[in-house]
């Protein structure tokens, strides 16, 4: 018997139909009331048709035996996942004699149904968050340092030429209350002092150390989105650096070998950007340059040996600028691009093994590039060999969104700290679904050994923080989100 479901835009028009003698005829079995649009239906031998409804209920119907749909009384069911434009899928797996359900809006888990019981499929759901194994005895240590004067999230931190650290802007809470204030950390005294405030509040901006020791701050959320400013640490004063050609936030900036600054990507309200522009600090002027091959909101960028610039990941669809939305629904990009200042042209770079947004990237001592995080599920970190232009993957690690990274003394070990992960507990998934969890855990990757090791956790879990390598070898972590969307004032230093 061939069956199908038919619907208009309203659920009350739904019904089951039989195909025979070259025509469809109604069976007179109405769709269960209040169970949403058609979809998520599969046939299971012995059980009949199984429907997983938008509200998380399971319904069954045996065409030859049942007068209508029956709601199954089950102890455990997959969480609801329906959205008309982000539909999940369900199919019968005859090799295992189970129905498989997967996907849907903001879901990456997979479930199986054996006719009476739903169960998470092995390897089909995000791993629960588990404590890191105890660190080895020589893993280093954290020290709590003097707090910031103001709690911040989405700020920048720039190591000045004299070794001090300039922390600029950010928000008191994500998306709101951008800050114009700035603070300076002195590693010799472990103390903070107030710096002059910017003319415009801003967050999710960039801050780039210029060749003469000044700091260029560009764009960001808030009134400063369309302009730039320069901080002079010698005079503790800010001065205008001109309006951008394209206002932007969530972008990247890299100082080129000739001292100019390349700014690329990011977003304006409602759209990611592919445009790029260059600031000339001598002329204090902005000029357009070649556009990215694709728009990239929240990419990462670094200068390669030889002076070219590598940009990785991000998203090309608009998700409102929110990082968690970009990871969940933005289809993060695995592609990369390389900019040649001589030709002012971007060309495709080597593709990463997985799409990333909210990832972190760092240049190693030998010129290779390390990238980690920015995924919802476990994934390897990757290292780009700058000579062969190929990526190599590390062992798979737990997911981290917006961690901080630093290359430790010697240039061969990378510290990865904090971030965000989605916690998933199969025992409570129906009521809790995925939960955003801030991380305090720390891992160190040794490029010489090709292995990961855990390090002591930070005192404060956080994401969207800043991480800075100091001249004395310490790794300084400042601020970031904790609670989830509120900036905190905690500061810690890691000594290897």
Q: What is the DSSP string of 330-388?
A: S-----EEEEETTTTEEEE-PPPSS--SSEEEEE-TTS-EEEEE--SS-EEEEEEETTT
190, 385, 414, 474 from 143: Cα distances, Å:
11, 34, 19, 10
Extended strands (E) in 211-356:
215-218, 227-232, 237-243, 252-255, 261-264, 267-268, 271-272, 276-280, 285-289, 300-303, 309-312, 336-340, 345-348
Q: What is the pLDDT of residues 164-186, one digit of tens each?
A: 999 999 999 888 899 999 999 99
More confident residue, 239 or 39: 239
Q: What is the predicted pLDDT for the residue at 82?
A: 55
Q: What is the predicted pLDDT for the residue at 7?
A: 37
| ∠ Cα 358 363 368 (to 5°) | 115
**Band (431; pLDDT cuts 50, 70, 90):** low
Q: What is the DSSP string of 147-165?
A: PPSS-BBS-EEEE-TTS-E
Tokens of 232: 């002079």
Q: What is the predicted pLDDT for the residue at 126?
A: 45
Task: Please give the average per-residue pLDDT across 204-227, as a whole number.
Answer: 98
Residues 6+ apart with CB under 8 A from 388: none
**Band (66; pLDDT cuts 50, 70, 90):** confident
User: Which residue stretches of 417-473 are H helix?
Assistant: 429-432
Tokens 């989605």 sit on residue: 422
How do the residues of the chain divide into helix, strand and coil, expressed in percent and rounded to 5?
5, 45, 55
Q: What is the predicted pLDDT for the residue at 10?
A: 35
Q: Which of 214, 219, 147 is nearest to 183 (CA)?
A: 147
**C-alpha span between 230 and 402 (Å, rounded):** 26
**Band (326; pLDDT cuts 50, 70, 90):** very high
- Would residue 412 be called left, alpha or beta, if left means φ above 0 and alpha means ψ between -120 and 50 degrees? alpha
Q: What is the predicted pLDDT for the residue at 75?
A: 67
Are 303 and 363 within 8 A, CB to CB?
yes
Q: What is the pTM of this model?
A: 0.74
Pairing type for strands 420-423 and 413-417 reads unpaired
Are 403 and 416 within 8 A, CB to CB?
yes
Percentage of the chain lying above the pLDDT 70 cut: 83
Q: What is the pLDDT of residues 445-493, one digit of tens each?
A: 999 999 999 999 999 999 999 999 999 999 999 999 998 889 999 999 9
Q: What is the predicted pLDDT for the residue at 231?
A: 98
Task: Please give the average per-residue pLDDT across 48-67, as a whole number.
Answer: 78
Tokens of 447: 């490029």
Task: Please give the average per-residue pLDDT across 82-100, as a whole number.
Answer: 72
Mean pLDDT across the chain: 87
More confident residue, 52 or 370: 370
Tokens of 332: 């993060």
Q: What is the predicted pLDDT for the residue at 339?
A: 98
Q: What is the pLDDT of residues 389-425, one digit of tens each?
A: 999 999 999 999 999 999 999 999 999 999 999 776 6
Q: What is the predicted pLDDT for the residue at 430?
A: 61
**C-alpha span between 15 and 140 (Å, rounded):** 65
Percentage of the chain lying above the pLDDT 90 cut: 65
């Amino acid at each position: 018997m061939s069956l199908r479901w038919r619907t208009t835009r309203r659920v009350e028009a739904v019904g089951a139909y039989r195909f025979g003698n070259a025509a469809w005829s109604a069976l007179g079995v109405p769709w269960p009331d209040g169970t949403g649009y058609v979809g998520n239906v599969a046939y299971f031998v012995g059980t009949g048709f199984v429907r997983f409804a938008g509200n998380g209920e399971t319904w069954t119907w045996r065409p030859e035996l049942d007068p209508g749909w029956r709601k199954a009384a089950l102890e455990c069911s997959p969480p609801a996942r329906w959205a008309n434009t982000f539909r999940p899928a369900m199919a019968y797996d005859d090799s295992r004699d189970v129905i498989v359900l997967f996907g849907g809006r903001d879901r990456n888990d997979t479930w199986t149904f054996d006719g009476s019981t739903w169960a998470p499929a092995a390897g089909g759901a995000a791993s629960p968050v588990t404590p890191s194994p105890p660190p080895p005895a020589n893993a280093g240590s954290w020290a709590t340092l003097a707090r910031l004067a103001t709690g911040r999230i989405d700020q920048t931190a720039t190591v000045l030429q004299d070794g001090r650290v300039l922390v600029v802007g950010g928000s008191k809470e994500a998306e709101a209350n951008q800050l114009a204030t700035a603070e300076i950390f002195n590693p010799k005294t472990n103390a903070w002092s107030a710096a002059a405030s910017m003319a415009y509040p801003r967050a999710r901006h960039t801050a780039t150390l210029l060749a003469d020791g000044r700091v260029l701050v560009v764009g960001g959320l808030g009134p400063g989105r369309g302009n730039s400013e320069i901080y002079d640490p010698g005079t503790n004063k800010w001065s205008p650096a001109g309006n951008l050609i394209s206002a932007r936030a969530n972008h990247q900036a890299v100082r080129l070998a000739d001292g100019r600054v390349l700014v690329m990507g990011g977003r304006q309200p409602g759209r990611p950007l592919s445009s790029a522009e260059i600031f000339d600090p001598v002329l204090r002027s902005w000029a357009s340059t070649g556009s990215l091959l694709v728009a990239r909101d929240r990419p990462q960028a670094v200068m390669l040996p030889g002076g070219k610039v590598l940009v990785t990941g991000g998203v090309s669809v608009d998700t409102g600028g929110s990082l968690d939305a970009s990871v969940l629904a933005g289809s993060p990009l695995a592609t990369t691009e390389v900019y040649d200042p001589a030709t002012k042209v971007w060309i495709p770079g080597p593709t990463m093994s997985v799409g990333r947004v909210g990832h972190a990237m760092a240049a190693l001592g030998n010129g290779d590039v390390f990238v980690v995080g920015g995924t919802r599920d476990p994934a390897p970190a990757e290292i780009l060999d700058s000579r062969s232009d190929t990526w190599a993957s590390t062992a798979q690690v737990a997911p981290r969104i917006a961690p901080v990274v630093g290359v430790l003394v010697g240039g061969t070990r990378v510290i990865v700290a904090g971030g965000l992960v989605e916690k998933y507990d199969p025992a409570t998934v129906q009521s809790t679904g995925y939960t955003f969890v801030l991380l305090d855990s720390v891992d160190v990757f040794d490029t010489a050994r090709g292995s990961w090791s855990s390090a002591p956790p930070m005192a404060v879990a956080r994401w969207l923080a800043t991480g800075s390598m100091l001249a004395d070898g310490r790794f300084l972590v400042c601020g970031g989100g904790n609670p989830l969307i509120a900036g905190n004032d905690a500061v810690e230093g890691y000594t290897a």
